[in-house]
Amino acid sequence: MLNLSEAARESGQSKSAIWRAVKSGRLSATRTYTGDYQIDPAELHRAFSPGADGRATDGGAPTVSMKRDPTELERAEAALMQSQIERLLQLGALIRHELDSAKKDQDASHSQAGLPYSNAAAPARSADWLRRLMG
C-alpha cells in the first residue's frame, strides 16, 4: 500500500493530482485511522497507467484516431460539389457584371435626359405622396 506522496512519486503525478483523483472517485483508496490515504499499487496503475516513456499518464480512455481515407464515392461527391461551387461563383460574377452594366446604362440614359441622379422615380413618388396628403 502507498500513501499519497509515494503514489505521486510512483505515478509521476503531483500529490494534489492523486488527491483529486481519490476525491472524484477515479482512484479508490482507503483511509487509515490517522486520516491518511492508502492506495493499492494495482489501483494506482489502473488509474494512471504508465505511458511509452515510462511516465504515468492519466487513466482516461485511450485516444483513437477516427481519420480514414475517403472512399471513391466520397471523392466523386466532393468533386461534384466543388464543380457546383465553381459554377455558382461564375454565375454570381455574371449576374454582378450584368447588374453593373445595367446600372451604367441607366445612369447614362438619365444623364442624357438631364436628370440629376439615377433614381428618377423617387421625385414622382414623393409628389404623389404629397398630393395625396394635401388632396
**135 residues of the chain, pLDDT tens digit each:** 888 888 888 888 888 888 888 888 888 888 888 888 888 888 888 887 765 444 455 555 555 556 778 888 888 999 999 999 999 999 999 999 999 999 888 888 877 777 665 554 555 565 676 676 665
Query: Which DSSP helix (H) or strand (E) runs through 5?
Result: helix 4-11
Rounded to whole angstroms, what are the CA distances from 6 to 3, 56, 110?
A: 5, 13, 90
Q: How far separated are the first and last CA of the chain, in Å rounded? A: 101
Please name the residues in contact with 41: beta carbons below 8 A apart, sequence gap of 6 or more.
Answer: 1, 2, 10
Residue 105 has, within 13 A of its CA and on its CB side, a CA count of: 6
